[in-house]
Amino acid sequence: MEYDVVIVGGGPAGLSAAIRLKQLAAEQGKEVSVCLLEKGGELGAHILSGAVMDPKALTELIPDWKERGAPLHTEVTEDRFLFLSETKAYKTPNWLLPKCFQNHGNYVISLANVVRWLGQQAEALGVEIFPGFTAAEVLYNDNGSVKGIATGNMGVTREGEAGPNFQLGMELHAKYTLFAEGARGHLGKQLMTKFDLNKGKDPQTYGIGIKELWEIDPAKHQPGLVIHTAGWPLDNDTYGGSFLYHLENNQVAVGYVVGLGYENPYLSPYEEFQRYKTHPEIRQFFEGGKRIAYGARAIAAGGLQSLPKLTFPGGALIGCDAGFLNASRIKGSHAAIKSGMMAADAVFGALGQERAYDEVTDYSKAFEASWLHEELHVARNFKPSMSKGLVLGTLLVGIDQVLFGGKAPWTFRHSKADHEYLRPASDFAPIQYPKPDGKLTFDRLSSVFISNTNHEEDQPIHLTLRNADVPVNVNLAKYAGPETRYCPAGVYEFTKTDEGQNKLQINAQNCVHCKTCDIKDPTQNIVWITPEGGGGPNYPNM
Cα(263)–Cα(486) distance, integer angstroms: 12
Give phi and psi for 427, each to the nearest 5.
-80, -5
Task: Record the pTM.
Answer: 0.96
**Pairing label, strands 225-231, 240-246:** antiparallel
Neighbours of 276 (CB within 10 A): 25
As a whole number of angstroms, the distance between CA 80 and CA 93 comes to 8
Distance CA 404, CA 126 (A): 47
Q: What distance lies between CA 189 and its chain's CA centroid?
A: 14
Enumerate the H helices of 78-157 as residue ranges.
111-124
Tens digit of each residue's pLDDT, the chain (542 residues): 999 999 999 999 999 999 999 999 999 999 999 999 999 999 999 999 989 999 999 999 999 999 999 999 999 999 999 999 999 999 999 888 888 889 999 999 999 999 999 999 999 999 999 999 999 999 999 999 999 999 988 888 888 888 888 888 899 999 999 999 999 999 999 999 999 999 999 999 999 999 999 999 999 999 999 999 999 999 999 999 999 999 999 999 999 999 999 999 999 999 999 999 999 999 999 999 999 999 999 999 999 999 999 999 999 999 999 999 999 999 999 999 999 999 999 999 999 999 999 999 999 999 999 999 999 999 999 999 988 888 898 899 889 888 888 889 999 999 999 999 999 999 999 999 999 999 999 999 999 999 999 998 888 899 999 999 999 999 999 999 999 999 999 999 999 999 999 999 999 999 999 999 999 999 999 999 999 888 999 999 89
Q: Are 36 and 127 within 8 A, CB to CB?
A: yes
The H or E element that residue 213 is part of is strand 206-215
Element (H, E) at 163: strand 162-167
228 exposure class (CB count in 10 Å sphere: 0-12, 13-18, 19+): buried
The length of the chain in residues reads 542
Q: Say which residues have a Cβ less than 8 Å from residue 403's Cβ, sequence separation at least 6.
A: none
